Chains A and B, each alone.
Chain A
């Protein structure tokens, strides 16, 4: 039995046989005779022809959907297919080595890739992806059908991989995949986000997992604590089984709530929506019974890539989500870059105090050429569903007015160009900077809704850097000052005829649900898996009960007192949720 430590990426426990997943194509080498060479060349030519047809097909679809210049990118791919230098090397290689054509081909391509990777020029180095792409396509066609699909066997498995792309993760099906473990990645990597949203337990950043875990090994994954136990012994297995039964029982109960409204026993209804980062998460939003998306973070479009996303690419992402979620609303937040999320192509200077630095709306207003592209994409997508727009990190009226001016300019441009745009796109702001919280009366006339971003509001209000572990104990969501701010935002917002919602982590925390409901919050947006938990609490009580909880909480003197009080109240109405924490 060995225990491996990693980063907890998606909560829950699972046990099953390991299945090692390699997105790399495996090229086997086998000897051939000189007589077989012509046959190998024919096989290669057939694979090239299939590849050419596939690329031409992609080009055609791209040209129709996105315009000719996107499609032109594939010209380079086509040229590789009939590169005669490559062809000569291939024929010479076959003669000399007398092995199968895929092995010879891969050797040659790998040699080129090695040269490309050695170059000092970062841009050119990144472009090896194009050659890599053609290589994979040709090899797939040469090797025939690939067992590429994840966990489609009979027995459900634990996927162990070096890393998984969002699309690979999205292919995973809960019926076949129990959990997953990756060598690399962090809490906010795409794989972690996807796993959480699919409610599949996951541990990422487990160094050497793919070397230390072998195909078929029995493993226990604890996604809550970031532990992987390989070949577990009896006590660990018993502990796992106990934990697993508890999770299952809770899941069963929560599943019943899926299609029921988020309303109290006396029919006070609130909007319970979900937060997403990737378009692929929409399935999870629907599966967990959320009514639309209260926060669509758009940073994923900008991160982990060498260039900026085009208008068309963004448009497609927003449109896809809008169409799948309608008639429910999707609140798109404009880019919230900076802080702990950096833009790779921009080479932004590092800051002493990034959370208070050049980020979010400040960055957008300073770089309007980048901001406008996003606004154009959102406005164009707005006719395909029920979209709303939200600005992050507004600290005063000027920023809001300037952002709205740019939005209006962009809208005029689009209308003049004959592009259809929704007339009534609702605009809202994140209330996450204390100055905005204090100015709600001034901001209200310019917007339709407020969305309280608690993660930042708490760190700014309490002056606690939320990534500094030494002062983590000071980060108290239940701090009396935070409660007072929340009350003021809701009250002043309502007085100004503005809907007040919350999309921070607090909105998905069952312990906070009673308080927030009692303060009068109109909408909650939480990560999809939290949605049933919050709904469960809302459906267990009368609205007046929540109001009295909020009133009492506001009279308490410390964050600890508030926390103990809220926990006790939650235990009264939903004891099983308290044990879970």
Chain B
């Protein structure tokens, strides 16, 4: 089974909070591959929002994403893109309550 892995830094100004995490999880779930995200010694399921939030990844945190499955390469490319490019209206989201 193909496997791909890359390590990048989070660019979102407020870190991987609920909204970017939600975008990441939604994207991950569209792929057949297993997705894991590792920060330090913690490894979580990239398709679980609860898991991803547990990482408490701030801006600049190093995350390593591993994809494992038939569409591993495409999945990795897409997910790395989400971590390294700001959300379309990331600036606005920082001045808004999520509640």
> Does A associate with B in a complex?
yes
Chain A contact residues, CB within 8 Å of chain B: 69-70, 72-73, 75-76, 79-80, 83-86, 112, 115-116, 119-121, 123-124, 127, 129-131, 133, 305-308, 310, 345
Using a Cβ cutoff of 8 Å, how many contacts connect chains A and B? 84
Judge whether A310 and B17 touch: CB under 8 Å. Answer: no
Judge whether A121 and B56 touch: CB under 8 Å. Answer: yes
Given A121-B58, A127-B17, also A80-B97 (CB < 8 A) = no
Given A69-B92, A131-B53, also A79-B25 (CB < 8 A) = yes
Q: Is the interface of A mostly helix, strand, loop or mixed?
A: helix
Q: Can you spell out 21 A-B residue pairs with CB atoms less than 8 angstroms apart? A: A70-B96, A73-B98, A75-B26, A76-B18, A76-B21, A76-B98, A80-B50, A84-B48, A85-B45, A85-B51, A86-B50, A112-B50, A112-B53, A115-B56, A123-B15, A124-B53, A130-B98, A130-B99, A131-B50, A307-B96, A307-B97
Given A72-B19, A75-B26, also A308-B95 (CB < 8 A) = yes
Q: How far is the CA of A98 from the CA of B19 in the complex (A)?
A: 35
Residues facing A in B48-90 (CB within 8 A) are 48-51, 53-54, 56, 58, 89
Please name all residues of chain A whose beta carbon is closer than 8 Å to the beta carbon of B44 when the two chains form the complex. Answer: 85
Judge whether A127 and B95 touch: CB under 8 Å. Answer: no
Which of A76, A84, A115, A124 interacts with B47 by CB under 8 Å?
Answer: A84
Please name all residues of chain B whose beta carbon is closer than 8 Å to the beta carbon of A83 when the two chains form the complex. Answer: 48-51
Which of B15, B22, B54 interacts with A121 by CB under 8 Å?
Answer: B15
Judge whether A124 and B17 touch: CB under 8 Å. Answer: yes
Judge whether B97 and A112 touch: CB under 8 Å. Answer: no
Judge whether A310 and B96 touch: CB under 8 Å. Answer: yes
Closest 8 CB pairs of A and B: A85-B48, A119-B56, A76-B18, A76-B22, A79-B49, A75-B22, A130-B18, A121-B58
User: In the complex, what residue of chain B is closest to A70 when comparing beta carbons?
Assistant: B96
User: In the complex, what residue of chain B is closest to A305 when comparing beta carbons?
Assistant: B97
Please name all residues of chain A whose beta carbon is closer than 8 Å to the beta carbon of B48 when the two chains form the complex. Answer: 83-86
Confirm or deny: B94 has a beta carbon within 8 angstroms of a beta carbon on chain A: yes
Q: How far is the CA of A83 from the CA of B51 in the complex (A)?
A: 9
Q: How far is the CA of A130 from the CA of B19 in the complex (A)?
A: 10
Q: How far is the CA of A288 from the CA of B48 in the complex (A)?
A: 53
- Interface readout for B17-32 with A: 1 if CB under 8 Å, 0 if not? 1110111011000000
Which of B14, B53, B95 interacts with A310 by CB under 8 Å?
Answer: B95
Q: How far is the CA of A473 from the CA of B54 in the complex (A)?
A: 55
Nearest Cβ on chain B to A315's Cβ, whole angstroms: 14
* 16 more A-B residue pairs beyond the given contacts A76-B22, A79-B49, with a C-beta to C-beta distance below 8 A: A73-B96, A73-B98, A75-B26, A83-B48, A83-B49, A83-B51, A85-B44, A85-B47, A121-B56, A123-B17, A130-B18, A130-B99, A133-B99, A305-B97, A307-B96, A307-B97
User: In the complex, what residue of chain A is closest to B44 when comparing beta carbons?
Assistant: A85
Judge whether A116 and B56 touch: CB under 8 Å. Answer: yes
Q: How far is the CA of A73 from the CA of B17 in the complex (A)?
A: 11
Please name all residues of chain A whose beta carbon is closer than 8 Å to the beta carbon of B49 when the two chains form the complex. Answer: 76, 79-80, 83
Given A69-B92, A84-B47, also A127-B98 (CB < 8 A) = yes
Judge whether B14 and A123 touch: CB under 8 Å. Answer: yes
Please name all residues of chain A whose beta carbon is closer than 8 Å to the beta carbon of B14 when the two chains form the complex. Answer: 123-124
Please name all residues of chain B whose beta carbon is closer than 8 Å to the beta carbon of A72 when the two chains form the complex. Answer: 19
User: In the complex, what residue of chain B is closest to A120 when comparing beta carbons?
Assistant: B56
Please name all residues of chain B whose beta carbon is closer than 8 Å to the beta carbon of A307 when the two chains form the complex. Answer: 94-97
Q: How far is the CA of A494 from the CA of B45 in the complex (A)?
A: 71
Nearest Cβ on chain A to B98's Cβ, whole angstroms: 5
Nearest Cβ on chain A to B27's Cβ, whole angstroms: 11
Judge whether B95 and A124 touch: CB under 8 Å. Answer: no
Q: How far is the CA of A551 from the CA of B48 in the complex (A)?
A: 76
Please name all residues of chain A whose beta carbon is closer than 8 Å to the beta carbon of B98 when the two chains form the complex. Answer: 73, 76, 127, 129-130
Q: How far is the CA of A85 from the CA of B96 in the complex (A)?
A: 28
User: In the complex, what residue of chain A is closest to B21 when comparing beta carbons?
Assistant: A76
Q: How far is the CA of A133 from the CA of B99 in the complex (A)?
A: 8
Judge whether A306 and B97 touch: CB under 8 Å. Answer: yes
Judge whether A73 and B47 touch: CB under 8 Å. Answer: no
Given A69-B89, A76-B19, A84-B47, also A124-B58 (CB < 8 A) = yes
Q: How far is the CA of A306 from the CA of B14 in the complex (A)?
A: 12
Please name all residues of chain B whose beta carbon is closer than 8 Å to the beta carbon of A130 when the two chains form the complex. Answer: 18, 98-99
The listed residue with most B CB atoms (<10 A of its CB), out of A112, A119, A127, is: A127
Q: How far is the CA of A219 from the CA of B67 in the complex (A)?
A: 63
Please name all residues of chain A whose beta carbon is closer than 8 Å to the beta carbon of B26 when the two chains form the complex. Answer: 75, 79
Q: How far is the CA of A378 from the CA of B63 in the complex (A)?
A: 44
Judge whether A112 and B47 touch: CB under 8 Å. Answer: no
Please name all residues of chain B whose beta carbon is closer than 8 Å to the beta carbon of A70 when the two chains form the complex. Answer: 96
Q: How far is the CA of A197 from the CA of B45 in the complex (A)?
A: 50
User: In the complex, what residue of chain A is closest to B88 when comparing beta carbons?
Assistant: A69
User: In the complex, what residue of chain B is closest to A86 when comparing beta carbons?
Assistant: B50
Given A80-B50, A130-B98, also A73-B19 (CB < 8 A) = yes
Please name all residues of chain B whose beta carbon is closer than 8 Å to the beta carbon of A127 when the two chains form the complex. Answer: 17-18, 53, 98
The listed residue with most A CB atoms (<10 A of its CB), out of B22, B23, B25, is: B22
Nearest Cβ on chain B to A402's Cβ, whole angstroms: 24
Judge whether A124 and B56 touch: CB under 8 Å. Answer: yes
The listed residue with most B CB atoms (<10 A of its CB), out of A76, A119, A131, is: A76
Q: How far is the CA of A300 from the CA of B14 in the complex (A)?
A: 25
Please name all residues of chain B whose beta carbon is closer than 8 Å to the beta carbon of A73 when the two chains form the complex. Answer: 18-19, 96, 98
Q: How far is the CA of A396 from the CA of B53 in the complex (A)?
A: 51
Judge whether B15 and A124 touch: CB under 8 Å. Answer: yes
Q: How far is the CA of A133 from the CA of B17 in the complex (A)?
A: 15
Q: How far is the CA of A70 from the CA of B89 in the complex (A)?
A: 12
Judge whether B19 and A116 touch: CB under 8 Å. Answer: no
Q: How far is the CA of A76 from the CA of B26 in the complex (A)?
A: 9
Judge whether A112 and B58 touch: CB under 8 Å. Answer: no
Q: How far is the CA of A70 from the CA of B49 in the complex (A)?
A: 19
Please name all residues of chain A whose beta carbon is closer than 8 Å to the beta carbon of B93 when the two chains form the complex. Answer: 69
Nearest Cβ on chain A to B85's Cβ, whole angstroms: 17
User: In the complex, what residue of chain B is closest to A128 when comparing beta carbons?
Assistant: B53
Nearest Cβ on chain A to B48's Cβ, whole angstroms: 4
User: In the complex, what residue of chain B is closest to A79 when comparing beta carbons?
Assistant: B49
Nearest Cβ on chain A to B66's Cβ, whole angstroms: 16
Please name all residues of chain B whose beta carbon is closer than 8 Å to the beta carbon of A345 when the two chains form the complex. Answer: 95
Please name all residues of chain A whose beta carbon is closer than 8 Å to the beta carbon of B95 when the two chains form the complex. Answer: 307-308, 310, 345
